[in-house]
Amino acid sequence: MQAEQAGNLSTVVSAAPPSEADALPGIRLCIIATIGKSIQILYAGRLEYFISNGFEVTVVCASSALDEAIRARGVRLHTVPLTRAITPWTDLRAVFRLYRILRSGRFDVVEVTTPKAALLGALAARLARCPRLIHMLQGLHYQGKRGLLGWILRTSTRIPCRLSSVTLAVSPSVREEACRDGIADPARIRVLGHGSGNGVDLERFSPERRPSGAAVRETYGIAPDAVVIGFVGRMTRDKGIDELAAAFRALSAEFPKAVLMLVGDYEHRDQPADSTVDFLSTCTTVKHVGWQTDVVSFMAAMDIVVLPTYREGLGNVLLEAAAMAIPTVTTDATGARDSIVGGVTGLRVGVGNVLELREALASLVRDAALRKTMGRAGRQWVSEHFEQRHVWQLQVEEYRRFARQR
């Protein structure tokens, strides 16, 4: 485990012990994200922690039904017409609106995150002459995209990296790939600790929650002795749903008691093949439960969590599963490979390799002792490196140092 992490030490910033002398009271922090859902999911608990550590937090995102819920977290909210799609006229209006907010706010630190907000927010911050701009790089969305769209996504990722004072990558492999692709300057992109934008809530994702999975199994008619392979996330091609369906089809012939539980929904864009959808909707040992607002009880019903993804920023669901002492199977894709210790907390396979995926799942299905050993190791690893308050404290100390810089 230590050997696997050693290669990333040169790109990692270690935690510094908190010091009252380092505190800079009343630091004005502005966080710009595209949609309110990102604020509520990617920043769960984080805003409150910054506020409790002396930050005055302002959030800027598109208006939605979540506006009041965001304000209730103790932050000032500005809404701007930000969209996830390419909308030139609306985007121009958003840049102007962002510029006015940043000029009047006189923020000590501005953070931009999620692709569209990072691009437009960085442009507006440069126009407003904001002295300290942090780009939270959540992933490399251009990977796997070709042609004009690939160029647009690559360019829109490069611009905020170049305009920001510093880019904080959420995983070592995101930093590595961004530098290799010429997206970011190696001297101006860092990883705090072992990565993650928001850490893992170890109380919520805990082995003690595993008994709650029994009720889920009973609801969906899953036998107590069945081995449940679980997937949690968007059911799209780039999450490896096609490969997962093919691997499970072959696996179920050898292990008829194996069950595949899918927590998530298809999306209009990047849908899997029709044959995949047909198989997953008709196979009696596949349980598609749809999207769930609270996934903990469903993960508690799983014996293995799998994410055969093509790319990630950091595989949060893999870390959450490990925190619940569930072994994981994923690919060696960007971001995913940082979410697992291969052979210790779970198993890694090649991207798009159905045979390797099937064999990795089979080895865990047939070996309950191995599942238990890997699950225990996963809980320990996540507790040591990704505990939520540890991740937040790294960020608070970094932002305090940054705010002091001229």
Segment 304-330 mean pLDDT: 97
Residue 346 and residue 155: Cα distance in Å, rounded? Answer: 35
Residue appearing with tokens 């999207």: 291
Segment 275-279 mean pLDDT: 96
Residues 399 and 369 in one domain: no
pLDDT at 267: 87
Nearest to 319 by CA among 190, 205, 172: 205
Q: Indicate the helix (H) or strand (E) that contains 305.
A: strand 304-307
Q: Indicate the helix (H) or strand (E) that contains 346.
A: strand 346-349
Nearest to 46 by CA among 199, 182, 188: 199
Pairing of strands 304-307, 286-288: unpaired
Q: What are phi and psi of 133, to 5 degrees?
A: -120, 125
CB 209 within 8 A of CB 324: yes
CB 272 within 8 A of CB 246: no
Q: Which domain holds residue 30?
A: 2-199+387-404
pLDDT at 404: 84
Residue 105 and residue 80: Cα distance in Å, rounded? Answer: 15
Burial of residue 214 (number of CB atoms within 10 Å: 0-12, 13-18, 19+): middle
Residues 224 and 178 in one domain: no
- DSSP assigned state of 200: B
Percent of the chain with pLDDT over 70: 94
- Max Cα distance, the chain (Å): 65
pLDDT at 26: 83
Mean pLDDT of the chain: 92
What CATH number is associated with residue 141?
Answer: 3.40.50.2000
CB 281 within 8 A of CB 321: no
Residue 14 has pLDDT above 60, yes or no: no
Nearest to 398 by CA among 122, 15, 75, 20: 15
Adjacency order of strands within the sheet including 166-169: 12-13, 189-192, 166-169, 133-137, 109-113, 27-32, 55-61, 76-79
Residues 176 and 215 in one domain: no
Residues 175 and 137 in one domain: yes
| Bridge partners, 263 (sequence order) | 232
Segment 181-201 mean pLDDT: 95
Residue 131 and residue 406: Cα distance in Å, rounded? Answer: 8
CB 322 within 8 A of CB 382: yes
Q: Which range is least confidently modeled, 17-26, 188-197, 338-347?
A: 17-26
pLDDT, tens only, 121-167:
999 999 999 989 999 999 999 998 899 989 999 999 999 999 999 99
pLDDT at 405: 76
Percent of the chain with pLDDT over 90: 86
CB 349 within 8 A of CB 329: yes
Residues 180 and 191 in one domain: yes
Residue appearing with tokens 């710009």: 32
Residues 27 and 109 in one domain: yes
Residue 312 has pLDDT above 70, yes or no: yes
Nearest to 36 by CA among 60, 13, 3: 60
Residue 168 and residue 195: Cα distance in Å, rounded? Answer: 9
pLDDT-derived band at 285 (thresholds 50, 70, 90) equals: very high
Segment 390-402 mean pLDDT: 95
> Which position has the higher pLDDT, 120 or 5?
120
pLDDT at 297: 96
CB 312 within 8 A of CB 306: no
Q: Model's pTM, two decimal places? A: 0.89
Q: What is the dihedral of CA 251, 253, 254, 256, to 10 degrees?
A: 100
pLDDT, tens only, 228-276:
999 999 999 999 999 999 999 999 999 999 999 999 999 888 899 999 9
pLDDT at 406: 63
Residues 171 and 240 in one domain: no
Residues 6+ apart with CB under 8 A from 93: 81
Residues 378 and 345 in one domain: yes
Residue 184 and residue 82: Cα distance in Å, rounded? Answer: 24
Residues 17 and 92 in one domain: yes
Residue 346 and residue 381: Cα distance in Å, rounded? Answer: 12
Residues 278 and 335 in one domain: yes
pLDDT-derived band at 85 (thresholds 50, 70, 90) equals: confident
pLDDT at 238: 94
Residues 121 and 175 in one domain: yes
How many domains does the chain divide into? 2
Tokens of 67: 């506006």
Residues 151 and 277 in one domain: no
Segment 80-93 mean pLDDT: 89
SS3 content of the chain, % helix, strand, coil (to 5): 45, 15, 35
Q: What are phi and psi of 98, to 5 degrees?
A: -60, -40
